[in-house]
Structure 1
């Protein structure tokens, strides 16, 4: 075909049109799919997806309300908020392709989202790729898991924690019930390599006492219980934080976030929020970041707050805030603290979230 100054985009050969579109970034591809049917058909065909399959993934963060209210359904205005920290902007995913009355995002792995979904036939855990608008329903779980279960996923392996038990799914088979062997529910479980790490409260009604525990992912199905990860050289480092939470750090490291107690007494007030980093190969702790006074004053007035993130970045949402605080360790020193605006207004301002390594070619 001979191209002239009067040639329209509709007259371009399909191969030429797709070659032009292949130079777009993943973010631009997602935005262009909403332009018209021509763009949508070209950007969602198997050939085009295969051409961009090896493109570098995007490290986004899904942000959603902390309570388990209806977040999406069959209506065309069902949306999911995703924050792109690299460009300091928000991306909106339409979830109207999911045939459920409600869907709650809870985790992500290998470019796929995991959501608790509810329909007239029951409640299930659903895997989807919002790029390709495809999804798969996992075997159903009971109502107790839907309300309280915490999800951790790695490729074809899925873990759901609730109180003293866990459900384990591998290679799409049926769920296996695994006893945790712990005194309390594993909190803020994270996966580093093939090992699951979590916090466990071994205290009493008088006060909490936190311990770091771990278990190999491939050993959970065999019924092996968790082991404690502790060193004498650590001293009382886990006791200096109020309500500690784990976040996966960069490489082989863990981040532990919580309020820094002014003393070891049960009623001790917190002087700030601190981020500690554990290097897993050496088992050495180090202070990674400390919340500035002006940020901490806001969180003191809010009282309740949520923490989430991964790698270089940790996010904090506070009651009544209407925005997020973000710590970015990619900056020099102890990291940079900034405010992130743009989240949908909510009465309590509390949000949860998790890292989403978006991949256009991931198949549920």
Structure 2
């Protein structure tokens, strides 16, 4: 085989699915060299569809102390129904903490071992090509309190009550103040707009509303506006502790416990997934958790939600597994994901990782 021209070998292996290419890379030094060359990576990045994986974020307590075990990214492959692990030992940072992903790249907070202070940098990397780049330095408060939103290498936002927007080529963060009424919950980036839930109620009773801002107008207006319609009625009142998840295309998912009544401490009958079409501004029901599955979440005071598009994951304390809403096959399927790695409290956080062999420019 090594007598064949390299271009011929590249064409042969570029016809394989990405999962098989990753397996072949581990067979020998010859295959690893062949399938990690810049020319092959460029070829397959334009031909091979990505692997749609669900990645776990490390527990919060791992974010603030040195972890002796080798750093890695734990991911679940829903199509192959197995857990995978990508080593992050190529990163020269202590306790790398992955928080977001876009177009095959993972964004993480990393603490430089040479830094005299415990300051963290935002790093973009591709675990498959083992390449990384450090984004311009931010203050430590951003890593502790900021939500990282990404939709490409050239658009990265870190959002708190303040926000910072990074543009490729300028090598700096554009900072601006926001006029949100409260701390944004589960903000998401959809094309040129950011959406977040904010509590506009009283200290005694929460009242959630949907806010959005347009990135292209931030330099001039720097304002968030409330997104609402009279026809929506009590759509925000029927859900307990709602969260946002990005849907497919120009759609937003809102997930929360379905209240059994409008009383202050109403119990929930299940977990509901609502879908908002941003073009028509109409809501519809995307799914609701089966009663048998919801019984496991009933005892938990809170649960975590992460995902994107047609897959949403749910976790809660003491359950030891994840619940998955999967609509990728065209029909709604609810199933359990067992074998969750780690020894945390079961309250998993995460993000969708579309694994690609894409070179970092």
Q: TM-score, normalised by structure 1?
A: 0.91
> Which of 5, 9, 18 does residue 26 from structure 1 map onto?
18
* Moved beyond 6 Å, runs of 4+: 71-76
1:43-192 matches, within 5 Å, as 43-55=35-47, 56-70=49-63, 77-120=70-113, 121=115, 122-155=119-152, 156-162=154-160, 164-172=161-169, 173-192=171-190
| 1:53–1:303 CA distance, 2 compared to 1 (3 A) | same
Decide whether the 8 Å contact of 1:73 with 1:96 is kept in 2.
no
Q: TM-score, normalised by structure 2?
A: 0.92
Q: Tell me the alpha carbon deviations over residues 80-116 of structure 1, each in whole angstroms, 9 at most, x when there is no partner.
A: 1122222222222111100011111111122211001
| 1:198–1:312 CA distance, 2 compared to 1 (3 A) | same
1:73 Cα shift? 8.4
Q: Tell me the alpha carbon deviations over residues 300-348 of structure 1, each in whole angstroms, 9 at most, x when there is no partner.
A: 1233321011111110011122211001124566x21100113214230
| 1:25–1:76 CA distance, 2 compared to 1 (3 A) | farther
Q: Does 1:37 align with 2:37?
A: no
| Whole-angstrom distance in 1 between the partners of 2:255 and 2:151 | 23
| Whole-angstrom distance in 1 between the partners of 2:214 and 2:139 | 26
| Whole-angstrom distance in 2 between the partners of 1:306 and 1:214 | 22
| Whole-angstrom distance in 2 between the partners of 1:331 and 1:174 | 42
Greater shift after overlay, 234-243 or 33-42? 33-42
Corresponding residue for residue 225 of structure 1: 223
| 1:94–1:306 CA distance, 2 compared to 1 (3 A) | same
1:215 Cα shift? 0.9
Decide whether the 8 Å contact of 2:57 with 2:99 is kept in 1.
no
In structure 1, stretches of 5+ residues that fail to align are 1-8
Q: Does 1:352 align with 2:349?
A: yes
Aligned residues: 354
1:234-313 matches, within 5 Å, as 234-313=232-311
Decide whether the 8 Å contact of 1:117 with 1:126 is kept in 2.
yes
| Whole-angstrom distance in 2 between the partners of 1:44 and 1:73 | 31
CA RMSD of aligned residues (A): 2.2
